[in-house]
Amino acid sequence: MWLPRISSTAVTALLLAQTFLLLFLISRPGPSPPACSEERVHVLVLSSWRSGSSFVGQLFSQHPDVFYLMEPAWHVWTTLWRGSATALHMAVRDLVRSVFLCDMDVFDAYMPQNRNLSAFFKWEVSRALCSPPACSAFPRGAISKENACRTLCTRQPFSLAQEACRSYSHVVLKEVRFFNLQVLYPLLSDPALNLRIVHLVRDPRAVLRSREAAAKALARDNGIVLGTNGTWVEADPGLRVVREVCRSHVRIAEAATLKPPPFLRGRYRLVRFEDLAREPLAEIRALYAFTGLSLTPQLEAWIYNITHGSGPGARREAFKTSSRNALNVSQAWRHTLPFTKIRRVQELCTGALQLLGYRPVYSEDEQHDLTLDLVLPRGLNSFSWASSTASHPRH
């Protein structure tokens, strides 16, 4: 075979030319990006059971620009119920990524082949699944109601979820099945996603009280949290699940605030349920600003209604709080939990109380003295990553 002899200058010139061509190709705006990734914002409400995340979910779900699903990874856990939370992390992450990209085929692995819109866990709390193009129970931009939606939309074709999802600028998912932040790093640096994380926490003592009131409903999830190979755990006298939950909040908040990786900048915001219950509008405005949404007058009126216990949206069971009793709700554990148990949670969750700004009580007197405020102002410097992107009103 004949090989031409080429001078080294020619080789250099050729290499340079190729490099420039390559750089040109890379830097050129690509052929129109898929509709899904352009400008769309993906919001993960990252929380735990009984922490007010359904309420926060509703705040997003009712926004006219938002496609919302509540706990899509419920389907992963109920299908792969022998797994442990850690073993299922990757499947959960993969599902969440697909849903953010409006790819609902991912549910083929977790749902029956013949299914309607109502196959989604708690689908009726998603306003987008009750409005066009998914269903016409409520016009887009109206506040939806679960009961009416359940009646009118349950038999809509499953495929409409995908179509609906693609028609919104924001996809918001609430999930309680992540126990560290590292598992989400690939999503944070994924060029197809524009992810914001709202990390919602609540006083572990209030969480414990609320968990005890709902022990049966949490039994399967508890088993997965504790890695029991499918055994349900209803009674948890050692408070192992609460300890696990506290640890995960500390892990997540620390990963996001102490030496956070650069791709987390401006993408993480910690929210305490108690702050939200005390000053809903200010907190919600800040949350919306963080995720690029604005508070419409209609939403503001609705939020006022649901947090002031008046109007049709005020159903307790849907929102678990109203500002008239918000303080009472967030303090209910002080009336009902025995002091020995409080002391135990405080021991198991010392780090979480400290990091998140909840004051321990050291006696029964302190427990019952409601003039003693246990929600401490959050350290100004502790969560600078969040406060750099949105102002956080203080009180």
Ligand X SMILES: *[C@@H]1O[C@H](CO)[C@@H](O)[C@H](O)[C@H]1NC(C)=O
Tell me the site size for ligand X, rule CB under 6 A.
18
Q: Interface with ligand X includes 229 (CB under 6 A)? A: yes
Amino acid present at 10: A
Strand partners of residue 195: 42
Span near ligand X by CB under 6 A; candidates 110-118, 122-130, 168-176, 219-227: 110-118
160 token code pair:
């409409």
Q: What residues have CB less than 8 Å from 340, skipping those under 6 apart?
A: none
Span near ligand X by CB under 6 A; candidates 90-98, 162-170, 262-270, 301-309: 301-309
Count Cβ atoms below 10 Å from residue 31 Cβ, excluding itself: 5
- Which of 34, 261, 266, 311 binds ligand X (CB under 6 A)? It is 311
96 token code pair:
């969440």
Span near ligand X by CB under 6 A; candidates 30-38, 144-152, 200-208, 300-308: 300-308
Q: What residues have CB less than 8 Å from 323, skipping those under 6 apart?
A: 277, 278, 280, 307, 308, 309
Nearest-angstrom CA–CA distance, 233 and 215? 9
Q: Interface with ligand X includes 160 (CB under 6 A)? A: no
Strand partners of residue 198: 45, 269
- Which of 84, 115, 263, 387 binds ligand X (CB under 6 A)? It is 115
Question: Which CB, 256 or 375, lies closer to ligand X?
Answer: 375
Classify each residue of 115-133 as buried b or exposed e, where b means 16 or more C-beta atoms within 10 Å of its C-beta.
Answer: ebbebbbebbbbbbbbbee
In three-state form (DSSP H/G/I as H, E/B as E, the rest C), the secondary structure along 67-95 is EEEECCCHHHHHHCCCCCHHHHHHHHHHH
Q: Interface with ligand X includes 113 (CB under 6 A)? A: no
Nearest-angstrom CA–CA distance, 394 and 202? 17
What is the smallest separation between the CB atom of 114 and ligand X, expressed in angstroms?
Answer: 5
What is the smallest separation between the CB atom of 200 and ligand X, expressed in angstroms?
Answer: 23
Site string for ligand X, 58-97 (x = CB under 6 A): ------------------------x---------------
Question: Which CB, 91 or 245, lies closer to ligand X?
Answer: 91
Nearest-angstrom CA–CA distance, 108 and 94? 13
Q: Interface with ligand X includes 335 (CB under 6 A)? A: yes
Span near ligand X by CB under 6 A; candidates 176-184, 208-216, 298-306, 383-391: 298-306
Q: Interface with ligand X includes 302 (CB under 6 A)? A: yes
Question: Which CB, 123 or 302, lies closer to ligand X?
Answer: 302
Q: Interface with ligand X includes 288 (CB under 6 A)? A: no
Site string for ligand X, 231-270 (x = CB under 6 A): ----------------------------------------
- Which of 86, 298, 384, 388 binds ligand X (CB under 6 A)? It is 298
Q: Is 53 exposed, middle or buried (0-12, 13-18, 19+ CB in 10 A)?
A: buried
- Which of 52, 83, 204, 313 binds ligand X (CB under 6 A)? It is 313
DSSP code at position 129: G
Span near ligand X by CB under 6 A; candidates 20-28, 127-135, 240-248, 297-305: 297-305
Q: Which phi and psi angles does 168 have, rounded to 5°?
A: -115, 155
What is the smallest separation between the CB atom of 195 and ligand X, expressed in angstroms?
Answer: 30
Nearest-angstrom CA–CA distance, 153 and 148? 8
Which residues contact ligand X (rule: CB under 6 A)? Answer: 82, 114-116, 143, 155, 229-230, 298, 301-302, 305, 310-311, 313, 325, 328, 335
